[in-house]
Structure 1
């Protein structure tokens, strides 16, 4: 296994009076896709938001490339090259596709400043964004909005992507398109931590996997091990990956 780009050690997170994360241990290897799985309410989204500094860890440490970041403000974490695609997608519905991407391109003050080669690469991943370049983002379909959310995260090179349930509520054909796009992104050696409930996507993309339950990581290892062991799938997730081909 390659060196961990992101490491969580003993992370606890409280939200108000609620104790959500209970000592999370998680390693995300550089250049790989790590799937974060678990039943609803297991703490997956809280883990991503804690990494991003949107919620502050009350104990433990979050290290990125060997340096602690758990006391950093969210903008400072983003400046390190970490991007977050929330489950809500976080796009600006009243702005056009172009304006949404321009806001995410930190070094660009106008559309012409966006790296043309990278923009064409994004259009290759998500052709609909080129077609609807001047459309208000709020008028896009659900799948197109998800494509835009991911495109915003990668409009500039990022070292780590945190993506929360990108396939939720999408038609199978759109999910297949997302899998293809994320596979191409994976080929660029971008490190990804991906929360998913769609096990076909997990199987298609994951190199490593961590399974959460009640605010803890209860299993971590190679994705292939989980794919090959239906008893382990049933014990950890209550489901069989084989039933979600």
Structure 2
């Protein structure tokens, strides 16, 4: 998989999301130990690291599902770490958890409508945006009236991402979207996420993405920026291309090389 092409005239953007010295406790367990993280606006930032490094906890802390016990989470310089999760979501942040979070007994159509905060019926949805989403994920159009629980794993993942994008979002948090998917489905998902990053076919504002991923070739294909976590801290941050070209750094941070996965 080739690295994602840079956007025309792209420069490193100022951060849309910043974490400053964030600590998170879950019960008696101290999971995040002072996380510092900057997510540039309009880019895809990959959050990498070994299992148990704190990646999922970081996403859940941003969404307020687990509370930061210290430090600040800032969205466009506005502190959000003390806000309730529904209010954080109202700030145009969407979260796709590792378990996808779809409603298996509801149809594809009903899942998408339920995720649209401003729509009470299908007629209230932006038809142009809906057509764009169904173009990215054709299986969703095919199974429009089927129960979501009967979709394949890859189709469920695409529905989860489509739910998060059924309305324009400023920030999209995605946890391991390619886990367990077949290579052909991974390629389709990569192309869809590239289109999301560009803002779609209607010249909308590009969506900023923070993406947790264990497939390092996917990280290389999609990432503009990268942060690597270990033991509840960010131990490396920079451009994805720089990490992709430095095998020694890959071994030191991740215990393997991207070249071995080509």
**TM-score in terms of structure 1 length:** 0.99
- Pick aligned residue for 2:149 from 138, 141, 145: 138
1:206 aligns with 2:217: no
Question: What residue number does 1:84 align with?
Answer: 95
SS, match of residue 141 in structure 2: helix
The whole-number CA distance in structure 2 between the counterparts of 1:164 and 1:244 is 21
The whole-number CA distance in structure 1 between the counterparts of 2:260 and 2:160 is 29
Alignment of 1:150-165 (within 5 A): 150-165=161-176
Q: In angstroms, what is the RMSD of aligned CA positions?
A: 0.5
The whole-number CA distance in structure 2 between the counterparts of 1:219 and 1:31 is 21
The whole-number CA distance in structure 1 between the counterparts of 2:121 and 2:197 is 29
- Pick aligned residue for 2:114 from 103, 119, 122: 103
CA displacement 1:190-221 (0-9 Å, x = unmatched): 10000000111100110000000000000000
SS, match of residue 177 in structure 1: helix
CA displacement 1:40-68 (0-9 Å, x = unmatched): 00000000000000000000000000110
Unaligned 5+ runs, structure 2: 1-11, 200-205
CA displacement 1:12-38 (0-9 Å, x = unmatched): 000000000000000000000000000
- Pick aligned residue for 2:212 from 165, 190, 195: 195
The whole-number CA distance in structure 1 between the counterparts of 2:144 and 2:71 is 43
CA displacement 1:142-187 (0-9 Å, x = unmatched): 0000000000000000000000000001111100110010011111
**TM-score in terms of structure 2 length:** 0.93
Q: Return the offset for 1:94.
A: 0.2
SS, match of residue 210 in structure 1: strand
Unaligned 5+ runs, structure 1: none
- Pick aligned residue for 1:42 from 53, 69, 81: 53
Q: Return the offset for 1:114.
A: 1.1
SS, match of residue 41 in structure 1: coil
